[in-house]
A and B are shown apart, each in its own frame.
Chain A
Amino acid sequence: MARLELDDITKHFDDDGETIVAVDDASIDINDGEFLVLVGPSGCGKSTTLRMIAGLETITDGELRIGGRRVNEAKPRDRDIAMVFQSYALYPHMTVRENMSFGLEESTDLSEGDITDRVESATDTMGISDLLDRKPSELSGGQQQRVALGRAIVREPEVFLMDEPLSNLDAKLRAQMRTELQRLQEDLDTTTVYVTHDQTEAMTMGDRIAILNDGILQQVATPLEAYHAPANQFVAGFIGEPSMNFFDVDLEGDSVVGDHLDYPVSDDVRTKLDTDALVLGIRPQDIELVDAVESGHDIAVTVDVVEPMGDENNVYLTFSDAPTNETFIANVDGRTLVEEGDDIVAHIPEEAVHFFDRRSGEALRNREFDGDADVDLSL
């Protein structure tokens, strides 16, 4: 186990003489035993970052340290890491036992007996002891996934690297493996870097998450921080399901004004807004549906579409004064009875509102949130 430090890591690819910046100046310190999730849309550089840590891609600039030792130039085999791939990447001609002992045979001087012991204890951990003599083609997707994980843990490396390891599983199995992986990582207490494009995985699994976009690190934070106190509009929109609603607004006197919106802001909030061109953000979960307009924070809306999910409803709303244009989403209790075409009122509580600088995207004001307190934000 070791601390993993990315110090201004940069990666340039050369494409027909043109330089493409895949990762730009990314710095992350990952503590010993920490579970860090690298998340972002496809093409954001998260896999490239992971592959640089693994040694499968060269590092253009910056320094990578594992346990304080610079490993930029070290071969993958000399970095003391193990990696789980999206395709599992099992050796098809080898049995489960051979797949798992391969790494120990190639990278250690362990005796045959020790290797057998290590492999058998790893298969016990993964619950695949009865599959030892099977070939990968005779295993289900979930079983192959377990073998791939087992092949990584048997090495007892300093760092685990995981590249979207659950994305080939069906939804139910994925949820189950997610919990199992978390428990496993906690038991082993091995530093882990986990790449995913799925923000649910990021939120549920990570001790901290690092959000990347266009090769630039947007924020490194705990899941709750990223959710409630996003550093910028990209993070705010990426984390959370359904996505945060955004409205372009301008600060005019003591309210912000948008196309269909005239929203009064308190002095407390206004002092944080150092520019006039703003984006107002509100999470669907924070919008309340009420019967009548009682204050400036209430907006007359029309129900466009209702997506019932059982425990909750996603209600797509349009402004009553512009029925066909922009829709935004409110996420309400599943027992709330609203139907398409209903004219109702959406209450946007000021304490839950985010403001972003429209030009830079930087967060100027986040919702009221105390990271240490019990988080009950249902309001």
Chain B
Amino acid sequence: MTSTNSNSLSGRSWRSTALYAVLVLLVVFYLLPLWTGLVTSIKADVLATAPFLPPAPAGFTSVHWTRAINALTGGLVNSLILAIPATILSALLGSMAAYGLTTLNWRHQVPILMLFIAGIFIPYQAVLIPLSKFWASIVPVNDLVGYVGLAGWVGDLIGLILSHVAYGIPICTLLFRTYYKDFNEEMIEAARIDGATTHTIYRRIILPLSVPMFAVTLIYQFTQVWNDLLFALVLVGPGAGAPVTVPLSQLGASLSEVGFGIRMAGAFVAALPTIIVYVLFGDQFAEGVST
């Protein structure tokens, strides 16, 4: 009896030891690039120690961070001006479209829904040229803003915002639709009998119940827009209106050397807002994903 017990006990502890070992390895695996990036960004000479070791006290410098922050501040502001409205608009419009396509009943819903779904699968690369032509000649938005006394790059940024909204709506609609399909139909009918119009049902019933799904779409869409380089480069390009990904891609590039330190510092600076968004909406995100 005793021996069996201690055997099974040691068997269990061996198994949990193995489990923890694997978990620690996974943690190391995921954290190593971040850690290496961090230590590299504070080394005066990147080759002084092995990549993953911190610098000796004498080799510590904060110059990469100061330079990265200086180089990226403008881009960060532009990215915020871009990502915040683009995210909110696509989530809101997606939610409205999903309400119209899911909760309300009318003819020809399915073909319209198919169009939305098809929109998810359009690759960005395929529309780059038509899209830039569209904003350049059909709706020359950077000329138009000139009439109200704004600089051309503001117009470019507006075009970029609208493009991201348009490309974000399909996936947002799909996410909200999945969520709304599980709503109790009788609850909507009860609201209709209670006298609510289509508009008030959305405002007073659907919208307040969508908070968890808004957290999901806001995080997802914010990350998408924030990290996008392709549209930013083609529609705005380097200059006064460039989102942070554009100057980030040029950071530390020179003919004489590869500026690993400043690149690492820059990557951290540029990623910071997305991390903040995750922290802010994390709880609702978990709730929205699990429903």
Interface flag for A41 (CB, 8 Å) = no
Which residues of A (108-145) have their CB < 8 Å from a CB of B? 108
Interface flag for A81 (CB, 8 Å) = yes
A107 lies within 8 A of B195 (CB): yes
Interface flag for B187 (CB, 8 Å) = yes
* Minimum Cβ distance to chain B for residue A286 (Å): 41
Interface flag for A106 (CB, 8 Å) = yes
* Minimum Cβ distance to chain B for residue A55 (Å): 8
A106 contacts which chain B residues (CB < 8 A)?
Answer: 191, 194-197, 200
Interface flag for A102 (CB, 8 Å) = yes
Q: How many residues of B contact A (CB 8 A)?
A: 17
- A interface footprint on B173-209 (CB within 8 Å = 1, 0 otherwise): 0000000000010110111111111001000110011
Nearest residue, chain A, Cβ from B195: A107
Interface flag for A93 (CB, 8 Å) = yes
Asked, given contacts A86-B186, A89-B186, whether A77 binds B192 with beta carbons under 8 Å apart, the answer is yes
Asked, given contacts A102-B204, A106-B200, whether A89 binds B189 with beta carbons under 8 Å apart, the answer is yes
A89 lies within 8 A of B190 (CB): yes
Count of CB-CB pairs between chains A and B under 8 Å: 64
Q: How far is the CA of A82 from the CA of B189 in the complex (A)?
A: 11
Which residues of B (186-240) have their CB < 8 Å from a CB of A? 186-187, 189-197, 200, 204-205, 208-209
Instruction: Give the one of B187, B190, B195, B197 with max A CB within 10 A.
Output: B190
B186 lies within 8 A of A102 (CB): no
Q: How far is the CA of A87 from the CA of B183 in the complex (A)?
A: 12
Q: How far is the CA of A102 from the CA of B197 in the complex (A)?
A: 12
Q: How far is the CA of A93 from the CA of B191 in the complex (A)?
A: 13
* Minimum Cβ distance to chain A for residue B184 (Å): 6
Asked, given contacts A83-B190, A102-B204, whether A93 binds B209 with beta carbons under 8 Å apart, the answer is yes
B193 lies within 8 A of A82 (CB): yes
Binding site of B, secondary structure by majority: helix, strand, loop or mixed?
helix
Q: How far is the CA of A219 from the CA of B205 in the complex (A)?
A: 40
Nearest residue, chain B, Cβ from A82: B193
* Minimum Cβ distance to chain B for residue A208 (Å): 24
Asked, given contacts A85-B186, A89-B186, whether A76 binds B209 with beta carbons under 8 Å apart, the answer is no
B192 lies within 8 A of A56 (CB): yes
Nearest residue, chain B, Cβ from A163: B186
B194 lies within 8 A of A103 (CB): yes
Asked, given contacts A93-B208, A93-B209, whether A77 binds B195 with beta carbons under 8 Å apart, the answer is yes
Q: How many residues of A contact B (CB 8 A)?
A: 24
B192 lies within 8 A of A91 (CB): no
* Minimum Cβ distance to chain B for residue A135 (Å): 12
Interface flag for A296 (CB, 8 Å) = no
Nearest residue, chain B, Cβ from A161: B193
> Which of B184, B191, B209 has a CB less than 8 Å from the CB of A102?
B191
A76 contacts which chain B residues (CB < 8 A)?
Answer: 189, 192-193
Nearest residue, chain B, Cβ from A77: B195
Interface flag for A92 (CB, 8 Å) = yes
A91 lies within 8 A of B195 (CB): no
Asked, given contacts A102-B204, A106-B200, whether A90 binds B195 with beta carbons under 8 Å apart, the answer is no
Nearest residue, chain B, Cβ from A51: B189
Which residues of B (66-118) have their CB < 8 Å from a CB of A? none
* Minimum Cβ distance to chain A for residue B284 (Å): 14
A75 contacts which chain B residues (CB < 8 A)?
Answer: 192
Interface flag for A54 (CB, 8 Å) = yes
B195 lies within 8 A of A103 (CB): yes
B204 contacts which chain A residues (CB < 8 A)?
Answer: 102
B196 contacts which chain A residues (CB < 8 A)?
Answer: 77, 102, 106
Q: How far is the CA of A56 from the CA of B193 in the complex (A)?
A: 8
A87 lies within 8 A of B186 (CB): yes
Q: How far is the CA of A91 from the CA of B188 in the complex (A)?
A: 9
Q: How far is the CA of A82 from the CA of B191 in the complex (A)?
A: 10
Nearest residue, chain A, Cβ from B189: A56
A90 contacts which chain B residues (CB < 8 A)?
Answer: 187, 190
Q: How far is the CA of A227 from the CA of B209 in the complex (A)?
A: 47
A81 contacts which chain B residues (CB < 8 A)?
Answer: 193
B184 contacts which chain A residues (CB < 8 A)?
Answer: 87, 89
B191 contacts which chain A residues (CB < 8 A)?
Answer: 91, 102, 106
* Minimum Cβ distance to chain B for residue A337 (Å): 50
A102 lies within 8 A of B189 (CB): no
* Minimum Cβ distance to chain A for residue B201 (Å): 9
Nearest residue, chain A, Cβ from B211: A93
B193 lies within 8 A of A77 (CB): yes
Q: How far is the CA of A364 from the CA of B192 in the complex (A)?
A: 46
A-B contact pairs, 13 of them (CB 8 A): A54-B193, A77-B196, A83-B193, A87-B184, A89-B190, A91-B205, A93-B205, A102-B196, A103-B193, A106-B196, A106-B197, A107-B194, A155-B194
On B, residues with C-beta under 8 Å from A are: 184, 186-187, 189-197, 200, 204-205, 208-209
